[in-house]
Amino acid sequence: MLRFLPFSADLAPYFDSINREWIETMFALEPVDEQVISSPQSCIIDQGGHIWFAQHQTLGVVGTCALMKKSDGIFELTKMGVVSSARGLKVGEALLKHVIEQAPTIAHKTLFLLTNKKCEAAIHLYEKNGFAHCNTIMQQYGDAYARCDVAMRYRGI
């Protein structure tokens, strides 16, 4: 059983620790990662973005995902992670579906994400839930991260 919680200051440390875990496991933290995960209030919330957390009934807060505002109606789905101890429980899929349900009223023009080919399971999850590879998004936003070699756009908006 999962509950989805909106951002609050007391949950900010989970945003940092969850994202730090998966990024450092697969890649190196980039300056933009460090800035965003250590200051989600100023980097995401205060800029018009949103963050949600997945809370498991026995494991506590196990996942997080953000919609970062790029411009009016254009948002990046970013910093989606699940703690390693909860992987295999379908937390990522449930969290992604929750965020997608919120997206039409938030990202009413474009919802996109940036990732890396090494994140095969995540890419499959994104494809299964309505995201498609998009060269236009790659050209517009792909240079945000050195590790970015995959850009996807949500087809439902």
Reported as a single tens digit per residue, the pLDDT across 14-29 is 999 999 999 999 999 9
pLDDT value for 50:
98
Phi-psi region of 122 (alpha: psi -120 to 50; beta: other; left: phi over 0): alpha
pLDDT beyond 90 at 71: yes
Nearest 5°: CA angle at 77, between 6 and 120? 120
Which residue is associated with the tokens 């498991």? Answer: 56
1 pLDDT above the threshold of 90? no
Instruction: Give pLDDT, residue 96.
Output: 98
Q: How far is CA 146 from CA 21, 102, 142, 143, in A?
A: 18, 29, 8, 7
First to last CA, the chain: 28
- pTM (2 d.p.): 0.96
pLDDT tens, position by position, 92-124: 999 999 999 999 999 999 999 999 999 999 999
